[in-house]
Amino acid sequence: MSATNQLRADHDQVRRLEKIVLKCSEELYKGTKIPFSDLTKITMIISEFIDSIHHSREEDSYFPCVASYDSLKEEIRKFMIEHEFGRNIARQISHHLKRWKEGEDAQEPVSRYLRTYAIFLNDHLNKENKFFDDAEANVLSQEEEIEMYEQYRSVFAIVKKVDEMIAEIDYLENQPWAKLT
C-alpha cells in the first residue's frame, strides 16, 4: 500500500458517510424521526475521522511532501481552504444539533447543513482524487509513498480509531432511516 492509496481508501469510507449524510438530510426534511444518537455519531465521525485523521494525513504529511517539489501548490492551497470550509459547515451542524437537543426547533438548519456538507464532500473528493492521480504519477517517488504510508500506520491508536469509525459508518448504514432506496 502507498500513502496515496491509503488516502483513496479513506475517501472510500468518506463516500459512504457522504451518502449517509445526504440520506439523513433528506429524511429530516421529510419529517422522519432520526435518533439524536445517530446524528451525534455523524458529527463525531466528521470530527474524529474526516478532520482529525484524514485531513491531518493530507495537511501534515501528504500536501507538504508534494509541495516540497514546488508542484501543485495552487491545488494544495485550494484544498486547505476547502478543508476549513468543511470544518465551518461541521461546526454549524453541531451548533444547530445542540440547539435542537435543547428543545429549540432546529431540525431544518441541521438538515440544511447536512445537505451542504454532503454536497461539499462530493465535490471535494472528486477534486482530491484527481489531485492524487497527478501527484502519484508525476511527483511522489515510491519510497516517499511507502514512508508516508508507514507513518500513517505507525500510530496504533489512530489505526484502531479508523477501524472504530468504519464500524460506526457500518452501524449508520444499517439504520432503518438510512436504507438507500
- pLDDT at residue 53 in the model: 95
**DSSP assignment string, 6-37:** HHHHHHHHHHHHHHHHHHHHHHHHHT----HH
User: Can you give the pLDDT at residue 8?
Assistant: 97
The predicted structure's pLDDT at residue 153: 87
What pLDDT is recorded for position 179? 82
* Spatial separation of the C-alpha atoms in residues 109 and 93, rounded to whole Å: 8
Residues 6+ apart with CB under 8 A from 153: 6, 159
Q: Name residues of the chain where pLDDT drops below 70.
A: 180-181
Amino acid present at 72: L
Q: In this predicted structure, what is the pLDDT of residue 155?
A: 82
User: With contact defined as beta carbons under 8 Å apart, do 29 and 176 qualify?
Assistant: no
Cα dihedral across residues 13, 173, 121, 49: positive or negative:
negative
The pTM of the full predicted model, rounded to 2 decimals, is 0.94
